[in-house]
Structure 1
Amino acid sequence: MFTAYLVVTLLAAVLNGMVAVANLIGHDYPKKQADKLGVPRSWTLPLGTLLAVGSLGLLAGFAVPVLGALAAGGLVLYFVGAFGAHLRARDYDFRAWAAFFTLAVAALGVQLAYH
Structure 2
Amino acid sequence: MFAAYLVVTVLASAVNGMASIANLTGHKHPIAQAEKMRIPRSWTLPLGLLLGAGALGLLAGLVVPVLGTLAAAGLVLYFIVAFGAHLRARDYDFGSWAVFFSLAVAALVVNLLHHGLAW
Q: Which TM-score band (shorter chain)?
A: over 0.9
Matched residues, number: 115
Residues of 2 paired with 1:40 and 1:93: CA distance? 20
TM superposition score normalised by structure 1? 0.99
Q: CA deviation at 1:65?
A: 0.1
Residues of 1 paired with 2:70 and 2:41: CA distance? 27
- The reply to whether residue 30 of structure 1 matches residue 33 of structure 2 is no
Residues of 2 paired with 1:89 and 1:31: CA distance? 15
- 1:87 is matched with 87
TM superposition score normalised by structure 2? 0.96
- 1:18 is matched with 18
Residues of 1 paired with 2:30 and 2:21: CA distance? 10
2:58 is matched by which residue type in structure 1? L
Residues of 1 paired with 2:26 and 2:84: CA distance? 23
**Sequence identity of aligned pairs in percent?**
70
Residues of 2 paired with 1:64 and 1:57: CA distance? 9
Structure 1 residue ranges without an equivalent (≥5):
none
- The reply to whether residue 42 of structure 1 matches residue 42 of structure 2 is yes
After superposition, the C-alpha distances for 1:24-64 in whole angstroms (9 at most, x for unaligned) are 01111100000000000000000000000000000000000
Structure 1 moving runs of 4+ over 6 Å: none
Structure 2 residue ranges without an equivalent (≥5):
none
